[in-house]
């Protein structure tokens, strides 16, 4: 009977410990590239970590203990594994691990205070996050430009996986893998350039006929201007010749007019008889 009571007590204690541990784990939300947008609503504390990071391993029990206070603080506590979600590390521009962000209603602030449970709780209860400057809108993880950056991070992770697979599964040396990537980059760049040129030609087709017509029209206008200039020069020469002839005709008449005037104007001198 005593043995049965001991066994029952042991089972009860084990179940209690299991339930408590389960409750603690359920308070910690795991975020990835598919569900991260839920942090845009409400108040969150989010940790970025990596399994191989020693500092992250040291913070792990503290962070899990802090997550048990999530309901009391009316917040949500989450984690992001950068090895499985490289796009999020690029979106949040995570350059060191572990990195902690405070998010409230779409505003992002990086937590840089002491990393212990009491400091985390005080940061939320005393609203110390209000004295921290939020991340600017153009660097916000929810912005379009940071979405583009996240795709580049995801692409780099995919290429890294392919590189490791080529060396481990196919036994290629490092330089062989790099050579394959170089050839693929050249071919891909040429194809993208060709596609881009074709798209531009379809959207803005070349207008050779119109250009040729405009050139012919310009040449014709130059010729017309030249002919009209020559005609004007000829007309000017003719006008000058006519004016010259008129001047030559008017000169004798002026002389004839001046002669009688000179005679009439000069007084007649009469000689006296001796």
**Tokens 């984690």 -> residue:** 79
**Single pTM value for the model:** 0.58
Give SS3 for 93: coil
Q: Is the pLDDT of residue 230 over 60?
A: no
Say how far apart CA 123 and CA 131 lie, in whole Å.
10
Say how far apart CA 143 and CA 93 lie, in whole Å.
13
Bridge partner residues of 104 (DSSP): 43, 107
pLDDT at 272: 45
pLDDT at 243: 63
* Radius of gyration of the chain measured on its C-alpha atoms: 48
φ/ψ of 109, rounded to 5, equals -135, 140
pLDDT tens digits for range 26-79: 489 999 999 999 999 999 999 999 999 999 999 999 999 999 999 999 999 999
263: pLDDT confidence band, cut at 50, 70 and 90?
very low
Among 3, 56, 198, 199, the one annotated catalytic: 56
pLDDT tens digits for range 179-207: 888 898 899 899 989 998 999 888 888 77
Q: Is the pLDDT of residue 229 over 90?
A: no
Say how far apart CA 202 and CA 74 lie, in whole Å.
57
Contacts of 64 (CB under 8 A, 6+ apart): 24, 25, 28
pLDDT at 148: 87
- Supply 235's token pair: 């007309």
Q: Is the pLDDT of residue 145 over 50?
A: yes
Catalytic annotation on 56? Answer: yes
CA-closest candidate to residue 65, choices 100, 33, 29, 27: 27
> How far is Cα of residue 165 from the mean position of the Cα atoms in its chain?
33
Say how far apart CA 12 and CA 183 lie, in whole Å.
65
pLDDT tens digits for range 77-121: 999 999 999 899 999 999 999 999 999 999 999 999 999 999 999
Among 3, 53, 198, 199, the one annotated catalytic: 53
CA angle 130, 135, 138 (to 5 degrees): 145
């Amino acid at each position: 009977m005593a043995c049965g009571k001991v066994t029952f007590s042991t089972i009860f204690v084990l179940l209690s410990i299991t339930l408590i541990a389960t409750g603690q784990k359920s308070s910690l939300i795991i975020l990835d590239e598919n569900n991260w947008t839920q942090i845009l609503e409400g108040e969150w504390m989010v940790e970025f970590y990596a399994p191989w990071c020693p500092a992250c391993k040291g913070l792990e029990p503290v962070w899990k203990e802090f997550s048990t206070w999530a309901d009391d603080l009316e917040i949500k506590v989450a984690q992001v594994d950068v090895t499985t979600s490289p796009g999020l590390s690029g979106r949040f521009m995570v350059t060191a691990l572990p990195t902690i962000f405070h998010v409230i209603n779409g505003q992002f602030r990086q937590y840089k205070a002491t990393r212990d449970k009491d400091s985390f709780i005080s940061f939320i209860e005393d609203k110390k996050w209000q004295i921290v400057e939020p991340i600017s809108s153009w660097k916000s993880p929810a912005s379009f430009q940071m979405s583009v950056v996240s795709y580049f991070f995801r692409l780099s992770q995919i290429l890294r996986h392919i590189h490791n697979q080529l060396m481990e599964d196919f036994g290629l040396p490092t330089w062989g893998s790099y050579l394959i990537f170089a050839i693929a980059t050249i071919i891909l760049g040429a194809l993208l350039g060709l596609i881009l040129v074709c798209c531009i030609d379809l959207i803005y087709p070349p207008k050779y006929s119109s250009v040729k017509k405009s050139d012919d029209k310009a040449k014709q206008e130059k010729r017309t201007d030249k002919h009209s200039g020559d005609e004007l020069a000829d007309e000017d020469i003719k006008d000058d010749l006519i004016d010259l002839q008129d001047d030559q005709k008017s000169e004798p008449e002026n002389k004839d007019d001046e002669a009688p005037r000179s005679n009439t104007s000069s007084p007649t001198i009469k000689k006296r008889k001796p």
